[in-house]
Amino acid sequence: MYLASSSLTSACAALTASSSRCLVGRCRAPVLQSHWRTCRSLSNNSATLADKKPVHSPVLAKGPGHTVSRVHVPVLSSMSSSAPDVMSKRMVWVDLEMTGLDLEKDQIIEMACIITDSELNVLAEGPNLIINQPDELLDGMDDWCKEHHGESGLTQAVKDSKISLQQAEYEFLSFVRQHTPPGQCPLAGNSVHADKKFLDKFMAQFMYHLHYRIIDVSTIKELCRRWFPEEYKLAPHKKASHRALDDIQESIRELRFYRANVFRSPAAEQKKCKATRNGHDEGTVHH
């Protein structure tokens, strides 16, 4: 199903003209623009995810692009009805670059997304999009953002971009719907609670597809710094490029390190706990 962005009033098949109620009953979108794209996809059961692939046609982070006039939204029914347990364990890695951290005045300027399985193997690399924002907003960034976004080339790329925030959400929502069941996979990243605040405000439908829990690598980092200081010192160093895709890839590598060097295998932990319950000195337990 392709939805023309110029046909907002006629696109939603589940919206009644008299009451503006959702006949599907599963849409939480507060306004018409977000309502029609959600309801239409939920009410159409004629296609499967295997039949359709998302069209990643907005501007990519590699340079300026063009405006999208049609967006493909995969249908959820075939996935949500029989999603295997292994698919529900996937992680949705997201990183944002913003004009600042003030939720009242700052905006998203870059977003990237990667899907991994529970073993942290990359399954799919999603869009990496730069979102246009007005010059006044860019000029009002604090010194840190001006310096780092300027040096990375992001500020100029934002000016050159033609993609809107709404178009970006279409793309990312399409991508995660293709690879994850609704409401089961958590958002993952470094200090991802900060990204989540902006996503909750500016990409509510994208967030509605994800689980409410998050996997924050920064939390694991801080625990390792306190509980496993020697292993913590060996953690991979980050380049700090402050670009969305680079930051995601570094976060995944970091969590792989903690998993391999800090997290104990279930079998070893079970032996350790059993020995402790029996009153043995943990130091004498051989694995």
pLDDT value of residue 1: 36
Instruction: Write down the catalytic residue from 242, 280, 286, 287.
Output: 242
234: closest CA among 246, 225, 243, 247? 225
Q: Which pLDDT score, from 0 to 100, does residue 15 have?
A: 35
Q: Is 242 a catalytic residue?
A: yes
pLDDT recorded at residue 268: 61
What does the pLDDT profile of the chain (287 residues) look like in tens digits?
Answer: 333 333 333 333 333 333 333 333 344 444 334 433 443 343 333 333 333 344 444 444 444 443 333 344 444 444 444 456 899 999 999 999 999 999 999 999 999 999 999 999 999 999 999 999 999 999 999 999 999 999 999 999 999 999 999 999 999 999 999 999 999 999 999 999 999 999 999 999 999 999 999 999 999 999 999 999 999 999 999 887 889 999 999 999 999 999 999 997 766 666 666 655 555 544 443 44
Q: Report in angstroms the alpha-carbon separations of 47 from 15, 57, 64, 72, 191.
A: 21, 21, 32, 12, 37
Is the domain spanning 59-64+84-266 CATH 3.40.50.300? The answer is: no
What is this structure's pTM?
Answer: 0.69
pLDDT of residue 238: 84
The pLDDT value given to residue 264: 77
